[in-house]
Amino acid sequence: MTITLSDGRKMPRLGLGTWPMDDEQARQAVTQAIPLGYRLIDTAASYGNEAGVGAAVADADVAREELFVTTKLRGSQHGYDAALRGFEESRARLGLDYVDLYLIHWPLPGRGLYADTWRAFVHLQEQGLARSIGVSNFTPEQIERLVEETGVWPAVNQVELHPGFAQRELLAWHAEHGIVTESWTPLGRGPKLFDEPAVAETAAAHGRTPAQVVLRWHLQLGAVPIPKSADPERMRQNLEVFDFSLTDDEMARISSLGGGRQGGDPETYVEL
């Protein structure tokens, strides 16, 4: 299952997150995930596991073109020249000719360099080195600034999204502008969310696990979730979410849990 990005390329509808794995954990997890059917792998320079991801991709029995590898620029490499260097370093660690999706990890508005950084991303896409380009943790105002300065829209905005933080307005804005929403921390990092009656009761009604219900909720919102699991049984479970549907009432109930962010606020977060 894929979704078509605004640049015409296709992206898998669900992927594997790799934070906070180290190189060896990521190599093992990706090696296990690919035969299960995972095609989208999410990493970042700041995770310190690109080499592990790249080793698993190199050893996979699946052609490179069938895989979709996303990585992200670290905060200390914002700016045009620094971003180009950061990309080359990531590409070397991954051992890849090209990256499928390259994201600005955080906007870092205090540094004021994200538009220059985006110019470098546009260049990398023109060179074919980053097939698709996007952002992570950007607000609509920050995305509008990128477009004003370059005329190029990000294909993806990867943001914190889970039933406790449903981001309704942002999702509507993304849809209006043809931006695919990719959901980080899609399971809200686990157990507490799974015990919520809205999730647990819906899971029981469908004979599914709470994690499967939450991932299905993302798919029906039109988002691309990237659950992290290092456990092959949970990885398999997290992929088996394309053969059932939640009702409108179930979707609304799960969307109204509340609770708020678990991660950083894009306006203030400082990532190095």
Ligand X SMILES: NC(=O)c1ccc[n+]([C@@H]2O[C@H](COP(=O)([O-])OP(=O)(O)OC[C@H]3O[C@@H](n4cnc5c(N)ncnc54)[C@H](OP(=O)(O)O)[C@@H]3O)[C@@H](O)[C@H]2O)c1
Q: Known catalytic residues?
A: 47
Contact between 181 and ligand X per CB under 6 A? no
Going by C-alpha positions, the residue among 118, 101, 48, 106 that lies closest to residue 75 is: 106
Window contacting ligand X (CB under 6 A); options: 74-82, 147-155, 226-234, 242-250: 226-234
The smaller minimum CB distance to ligand X, of residues 3 and 193, is found at 193
User: Which range, of 59-67, 77-85, 167-175, 187-195, touches ligand X by CB under 6 A?
Assistant: 187-195
Between residues 139 and 185, which has the closer beta carbon with respect to ligand X?
185
Tell me which of 263, 265, 267, 270 binds ligand X, using CB under 6 A: 263
In the complex, the smallest distance separating the C-beta of residue 199 from ligand X, rounded to whole angstroms, is: 11
Pair of tokens at residue 125? 């896409």
18 is a contact residue toward ligand X (CB under 6 A):
yes
Phi-psi region of 7 (alpha: psi -120 to 50; beta: other; left: phi over 0): alpha
For residues 118 and 126, give the distance between their C-alpha atoms in angstroms, rounded to a whole number.
Answer: 12
C-alpha span between 191 and 136 (Å, rounded): 25
**Does 188 participate in binding ligand X (rule CB under 6 A)?**
yes
Which residues in the 55-94 window bind ligand X by CB under 6 A? none
Which residue's Cβ lies closest to ligand X? 17
Q: How far is the CB of 147 from ligand X (least distance, A)?
A: 20
Of 8 and 202, nearer to ligand X (C-beta) is 202
Position among 114, 138, 184, 217 found at the interface with ligand X (CB under 6 A) = 184
CA 110 – CA 43 distance, rounded (Å)? 24
* Long-range CB contact pairs, 247-250, < 8 A, 24+: 250/198, 250/202, 250/205
- The yes or no reply on residue 37 touching ligand X (CB under 6 A) is no
Task: Determine, following the binding rule CB under 6 A, whether residue 206 of this chain makes contact with ligand X.
Answer: no
List 7, 177, 234, 255, residue binding ligand X (CB under 6 A): 234
Q: At closest approach, how far in Å is the CB of 36 from ligand X?
A: 13
Check residue 127 and report its DSSP letter.
Answer: T
Q: Which residues of 116-143 are buried (b: 16+ CB within 10 A; e: fewer)?
A: bbbbbbbbbbeeebbbbbbbbbbbeebb
- Torsion of Cα atoms, 52 then 58 then 62 then 64, to 10°: 100
The H or E element that residue 201 is part of is helix 197-206
Query: Cβ closer to ligand X: 74 or 91?
Result: 74
Residue 49: C-alpha distances to residues 56, 76, 93 (Å): 11, 17, 9
The residues that touch ligand X, with contacts defined as CB under 6 A, are 17-19, 42, 105, 136-137, 158, 184-190, 209, 211, 226-231, 234, 237-238, 263
